[in-house]
A and B are shown apart, each in its own frame.
Chain A
């Protein structure tokens, strides 16, 4: 009996060690959004919980867009579209995976985003269009924490606003033998939304696809991404 317990313990220990030392899953490759959604909806299918002031900003964006005025959208002037909007574009992105950093390289205007692994989010980050991102492995999931966002970007193509207080949490998980990628993200922005909320997106890997050189400044304005 004692011997058996010993065997079980060794097996359990071996299992633990294997988990601890296991290489993280492979997220590398070119990813396309599985289905393009219009205005962002929460995981429960609701409209995001804009506060009253932010609701008027959003309504103004929609009214302007309806009249063909996209001046509220910096992406039409080739400014970086921000996050999570870049994750919601029909154009693909590529993940380059290294032990200390994951690189998201978006087709849109060749924009790079770096996710530094196993580091804390700096407490005082200067605002950037793509913020500042740190990540960690949670089992087989990649969890990315981002803050330090410039408040001129939009959350989605429909023109949802955010403030500099935006804190974005993303959780990425593979499925279908590594060919599908699921993203659940949480928006925490008390200056814009009455409570934090989450939404989802799914991606399909396209092996062998080469992302073309996409240069916004060389693209006519009508063909640029817009709300």
Chain B
């Protein structure tokens, strides 16, 4: 659990960097992201544009529960980014050899022959990517646990509030998650991830040493959930980085049965691959 207090998170939450957090939020909702990796203008490195994502709940929907420690309910990501770096359209701080792999994957995608990732084979999406889905997430909170039921491909996360990480972990697709409350913020620490998934939809790599820290809190009187995601990986990343996401309160939505194994909804439509 001590690892949760990583330097990157502390820095991110410091008042001195709050301005950059505000700027980041502005970027997320406003200016269009760069169209190519590294702003290179190289069409073979074209990035898939983000999606607008979920709308807010329609008028007349019951308001969110303002209790900061009650996360129960259906939440839906606002916006969707294919590249999960520190800002939209910016790559994670990958080491050169892994940046080269990302470039290779983006070029393969742009040639129409993408490298198959886990989700296209109905495997769980991995971390942090599963939190970046254009489908709703239902949070079920019980005394010792917070359970995330993701509509997309019935991904399931269990966040344990009553224990630390086991000493010996067999790597899994979504890892081992433990959480605790720091004031009104739920801090979730995840390790034990296998390396069969990508950080993001464009194909940024992580290793089995990936360590993901989430700071989750209600904002706007319970109408929205804020997630600050911090990703550390001493193998593939130059340094840890963080980004911010917002999920809308959607009590009007009931998650549907999503059977990837029967009919993968992420197949290309009119030549465009929709979100996985």
Contacts and interface: CB of A to CB of B under 8 A. Distances in A.
A206 B224 CA distance: 36
A70 interface: no
Given A109-B154, A110-B154, A213-B174, A79 B262 contact: yes
Contacts of A215: 123-124, 173
B274 to A, nearest CB: 20
Interface in A47-97: 77-80, 96-97
A129 B257 contact: yes
B142 A213 contact: no
Given A79-B261, A109-B154, A213 B72 contact: no
A217 B261 contact: yes
A15 interface: no
Given A213-B124, A217-B123, A110 B142 contact: no
Nearest to B145: A96
B149 A217 contact: no
Residue from A97, A110, A112, A213 having most chain B Cβ neighbours under 10 A: A213
A105 B262 contact: no
Say whether chain B's binding surface is mostly helix, strand, loop, or mixed: loop
Interface in A211-227: 211-213, 215-218
A218 B72 CA distance: 30
A180 B158 CA distance: 24
Given A98-B140, A110-B155, A105 B147 contact: yes
Nearest to B262: A79
A99 to B, nearest CB: 10
B1 to A, nearest CB: 18
A150 to B, nearest CB: 9
A128 to B, nearest CB: 5
A110 B156 CA distance: 7
Interface residues of B, number: 22
A17 B44 CA distance: 71
Interface in A94-118: 96-98, 103, 105, 109-112, 114
B149 A103 contact: yes
A204 interface: no
B121 interface: yes
A211 to B, nearest CB: 8
A130 interface: yes
Interface in B164-202: 172-174
A128 B257 contact: yes
Nearest to A128: B257
A79 B122 CA distance: 11
B228 to A, nearest CB: 25
Interface string A123-146: 000001110000000000000000
B41 to A, nearest CB: 39
23 contacts: A78-B122, A78-B261, A79-B259, A79-B262, A80-B257, A96-B147, A98-B72, A103-B147, A105-B147, A105-B156, A110-B155, A111-B154, A112-B156, A128-B257, A129-B257, A130-B257, A211-B158, A213-B156, A215-B124, A216-B122, A216-B261, A218-B123, A218-B173
Given A79-B261, A212-B172, A213-B124, 6 more contacts: A78-B261, A79-B259, A103-B140, A112-B156, A129-B259, A216-B122
Interface of A: 28, 77-80, 96-98, 103, 105, 109-112, 114, 128-130, 210-213, 215-218
